[in-house]
């Protein structure tokens, strides 16, 4: 293969030398940092002879060329100076999509806590509506407190994950969350008092359950802290840096960043009041459609205050609750449809539980766990909520008492001269669920769906008898034992397209429970990558496998890995190949999921996965049939 010609074609399709700010490579891929990602023609790169696949991930355009990657890298690098440490220029296209991705990434670690608390609230809603528990009982009081805690103190959780995302001190981030929720600040607001800092007035907003204020504050903290770390002498860094960060970021957070959601919410509330007076049908439609973002920013609290004022003045509410009924039910329907369609077992379980909690009036687990991470589900939610909200607005449904928006709170719509207000509320609920569900079914797309189906087909093939007679020479089988102890993961569920789509070959993945990799068969070490995170082996009968410990762990540059073998070594099954410090790798922000890939899959009739959920070093995880 002429690597020079391939290198020229790859460089041309990524936008040329001037578009490359940095070039590196790992065990199978060229990793381009591009100044403008949109100049890279991914589809044309995939079609080049000698390229296995191409993905854009982690801020890089990754061209998968397989075991010849070093040769291609050398040829590409000869065409220009592309291995500098220069950072790629920021590309501000798709800012809205990037914002959603950042928020979703921040919420991934706390989805379990949100989902669990949401189900506690759902159980309470069921218990009280069916009369199994009194809202006046101490048991209800304690359970309600337990269910509310994660939502009330959400800024603390967000501070921790945002600090990790923005690479800043999590402990300082927690300080700022504590400032927002400090009892003294809350007392000033509840008592209607004013606050000021150096004569500058502070808007006393509601920060419990809020998201955007603490994210903005931690983002500012990351810049201030990095600047102070650079200019502060080492001898006084330990106290000067946090002191200056608190003194600078704290006031800006309270005066500017924190109140942004509340201020915008107040103006939004005034606007909705104006619309309600002149086009009342429009308000539920708009609030329902954009409810995900109102909840995300905390702006819905301002609308709730407006509706409370409205109810006190005229005896009913129409600004917020009809819209949140539409939104809650639509999101429940959309997320349940997601659970029906997805092949990912973990996401299916999460979507089912959080979708059901939406019907109980608790939407945050679904919003942050599923909806914001899957934009098609977000679109389906907005469509279902918008259609239902439009019906609620046209029919003019009203709430005659305070209550949450769940399937058991429909009695709050009973009032007026007839029962039609109640009936229309029921119809609104049904429309929201059905439209949200159907829209989600139609819009659903799962990139790894085909790979998942292929994996299922492989299992089926293992159980089928061959329809033709195969001679002894052809009927060769090579078994691969698990090189790690841990949980078995389908390759299609690996968070890396190059592995999940089987671009590198068929295989399986292991989520390890200990930091040791052993030889899965007798054979020879074909390659030990210089960063020690990946090892290639060849069995005695020619099966080639790649063991890739972690996702994107090439960026660790060998840190936390120790190799015990080198290229050309003969190994026996069970012999230790390498060890790794799992806790430190995870703490550094990397997934430990380890793909085990048969890189010469094309030379085999089939590669069949073992049918087990847990693996030890004596478990057969793959069988290659020739």
pTM for the model stands at 0.43
How many residues comprise the chain? 626
The domains of the chain are located at: 3-93, 153-258, 263-443, 450-625
Distance between CA atoms of residues 54 and 504, nearest Å: 11
Q: Is 358 a catalytic residue?
A: no
**Residue 351's CB: how many other CB atoms inside 10 A?**
28
The reply to whether 450-625 shares the fold of 3-93 is no
Q: Is the pLDDT of residue 522 over 90?
A: yes
Look-up: residue for tokens 């690479």?
167
Predicted confidence at residue 296, as pLDDT, reads 66
Q: Is the pLDDT of residue 417 over 80?
A: no
**Can you read off the two tokens belonging to residue 390?**
């439009």
Look-up: residue for tokens 């589809």?
43
Predicted confidence at residue 517, as pLDDT, reads 95
DSSP, residue by residue, 368-419: HHTGGG-HHHHHHHHHHHHHHHHHHHHHT--BSS---SSTT-GGGG--SSSS
Distance between CA atoms of residues 248 and 240, nearest Å: 12
What does the pLDDT average to over 312-332?
81
Predicted confidence at residue 481, as pLDDT, reads 93
* Stronger pLDDT, 307 or 433, i.e. the higher one: 433
Exposure string of 426-462, with b = 16+ CB inside 10 Å and e = fewer, is ebbbebbbbbbbbbbbebbebebeebbeebeeeeeee
Q: Is the pLDDT of residue 295 over 80?
A: no
Q: Is the pLDDT of residue 2 over 70?
A: no
Predicted confidence at residue 458, as pLDDT, reads 39
Look-up: residue for tokens 């918008």?
386
Q: Mind listing the pLDDT tens digit for each residue in 114-124?
A: 656 766 766 77
**Mean residue pLDDT across the chain:** 80
Predicted confidence at residue 460, as pLDDT, reads 39
Phi, psi of 480, deg, nearest 5: -115, 115
Strand partners, 125: none
**Can you read off the two tokens belonging to residue 70?**
């070093």
DSSP, residue by residue, 447-494: TTHHHHHHHHHHHHHHHSPPSS---TTT--EEEEE-SS-EEEE-GGGS
**Can you read off the two tokens belonging to residue 198?**
């150096």
* Overall CATH class of domain 3-93: alpha beta
Query: E strands of 26-105, at which residues?
Result: 29-34, 53-57, 60-64
How far does CA 38 lie from the centroid of its chain?
23
Q: Which of 40-44, 119-123, 154-158, 378-382 has the lowest mean pLDDT?
A: 119-123
Q: How confident is the model at residue 515 (pLDDT cuts 50, 70, 90)?
A: very high
Percentage of residues in the chain having pLDDT higher than 70 = 80
**Can you read off the two tokens belonging to residue 255?**
């005066």
Q: Mind listing the pLDDT tens digit for each residue in 235-254?
A: 788 889 999 999 999 999 89
- List 20, 26, 254, 329, catalytic entry: 26
Question: Residue 293 in contact with residue 332, Cβ under 8 Å?
Answer: no
Distance between CA atoms of residues 152 and 214, nearest Å: 13
Distance between CA atoms of residues 89 and 33, nearest Å: 9
Distance between CA atoms of residues 131 and 478, nearest Å: 62
Q: Mind listing the pLDDT tens digit for each residue in 168-226?
A: 888 999 999 999 888 888 788 777 777 888 888 888 877 777 777 888 899 999 999 98
Predicted confidence at residue 452, as pLDDT, reads 43
Q: Mind listing the pLDDT tens digit for each residue in 542-559?
A: 899 999 999 888 888 889
Q: How confident is the model at residue 451 (pLDDT cuts 50, 70, 90)?
A: very low
Q: How confident is the model at residue 87 (pLDDT cuts 50, 70, 90)?
A: very low
* Stronger pLDDT, 25 or 84, i.e. the higher one: 25
DSSP state of 607: E
SS3 state of residue 509: strand
Cα four-point dihedral sign 34, 40, 46, 51: negative
Q: How confident is the model at residue 579 (pLDDT cuts 50, 70, 90)?
A: very high
Helical residues (DSSP H) of 166-236, grouped into ranges: 170-180, 183-190, 212-231
Long-range contacts of 193-198 (CB under 8 A, 24+ apart): 197/251, 197/254, 197/255, 198/251
Question: Residue 178 in contact with residue 251, Cβ under 8 Å?
Answer: no
**Superfamily name with CATH number, domain 450-625:** Glucose Permease (Domain IIA) (2.70.70.10)
* Stronger pLDDT, 347 or 117, i.e. the higher one: 347
């Amino acid at each position: 293969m002429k690597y020079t010609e391939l290198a020229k074609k790859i460089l041309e399709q990524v936008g040329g030398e001037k578009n490359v700010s940095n070039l590196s490579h790992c065990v199978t891929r060229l990793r381009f940092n591009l100044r403008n990602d949109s100049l890279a023609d991914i589809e044309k790169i995939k079609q080049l002879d000698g390229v296995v696949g191409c993905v854009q991930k982690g801020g890089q355009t990754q061209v998968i060329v397989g075991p010849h990657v070093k040769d291609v890298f050398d040829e590409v690098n000869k065409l220009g100076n592309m291995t500098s440490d220069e950072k790629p220029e920021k590309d501000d296209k798709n800012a809205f999509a990037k914002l959603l991705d950042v928020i979703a990434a921040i919420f991934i670690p706390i989805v379990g806590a949100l989902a669990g608390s949401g189900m506690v609230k759902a159980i309470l809603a069921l218990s009280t509506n069916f009369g199994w528990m009194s809202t006046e009982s101490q048991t209800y009081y304690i359970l309600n407190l337990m269910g509310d805690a994660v939502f009330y103190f959400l800024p603390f959780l967000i501070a921790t994950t945002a600090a990790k995302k923005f690479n800043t001190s999590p402990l300082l981030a927690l300080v700022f969350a504590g400032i927002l929720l400090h009892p003294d600040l809350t007392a000033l607001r509840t008592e209607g008092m004013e606050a000021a800092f150096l004569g500058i007035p502070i808007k006393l907003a509601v920060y419990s359950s809020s998201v955007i204020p603490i994210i903005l504050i931690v983002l500012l903290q990351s810049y201030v802290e990095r600047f102070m770390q650079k200019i502060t002498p080492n001898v006084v860094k330990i106290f000067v840096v946090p002191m200056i960060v608190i003194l600078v970021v704290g006031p800006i957070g309270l005066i500017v960043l924190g109140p942004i959601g509340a201020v915008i919410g107040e103006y939004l509330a005034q606007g909705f009041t104006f619309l309600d007076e002149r086009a009342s049908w429009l308000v539920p439609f708009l609030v329902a459609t954009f409810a995900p973002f109102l909840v995300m920013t905390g702006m819905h609290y301002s609308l709730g205050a407006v509706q409370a004022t409205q109810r006190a003045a005229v005896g009913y509410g129409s600004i917020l609750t009809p819209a949140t009924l539409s939104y809650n039910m639509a999101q429940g329907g959309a997320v349940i449809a997601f659970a029906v369609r997805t092949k990912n077992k973990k996401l299916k379980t999460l979507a089912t539980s959080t979708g059901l909690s939406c019907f109980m009036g608790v939407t945050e687990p679904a919003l942050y766990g599923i909806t914001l991470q899957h934009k098609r589900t977000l679109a389906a939610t907005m469509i279902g909520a918008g259609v239902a909200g439009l019906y609620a607005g046209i029919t003019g449904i009203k709430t005659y008492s305070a209550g949450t928006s769940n399937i058991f709170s429909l009695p709050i719509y009973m009032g007026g001269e007839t029962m039609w207000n109640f009936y229309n509320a029921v119809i609104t609920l049904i429309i929201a669920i059905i439209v949200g569900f159907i829209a989600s079914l139609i819009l659903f797309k799962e990139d790894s769906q085909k790979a998942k189906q292929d994996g299922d087909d492989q299992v089926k093939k293992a159980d089928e008898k061959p329809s033709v007679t195969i001679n002894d020479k052809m009927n060769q089988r090579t078994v691969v034992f698990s090189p790690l102890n841990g949980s078995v993961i389908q390759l299609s569920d690996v968070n890396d397209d190059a592995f999940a789509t089987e671009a590198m070959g068929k295989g399986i993945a292991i989520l390890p429970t200990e930091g040791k990799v052993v030889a899965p068969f007798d054979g020879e070490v074909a390659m030990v990558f210089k960063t020690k995170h990946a090892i290639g082996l060849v069995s005695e009968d020619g099966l080639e496998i790649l063991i890739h410990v972690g996702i994107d762990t090439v960026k660790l540059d060998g840190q936390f890995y120790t190799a015990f073998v080198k290229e050309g070594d003969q190994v026996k099954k069970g012999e230790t190949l390498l060890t790794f410090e799992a806790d430190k790798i995870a703490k550094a922000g990397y997934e430990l999921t380890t793909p085990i890939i048969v890189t010469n899959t094309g030379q085999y009739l089939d590669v069949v996965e073992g049918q087990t959920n847990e693996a030890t070093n004596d478990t057969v995880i793959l069988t290659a049939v020739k």
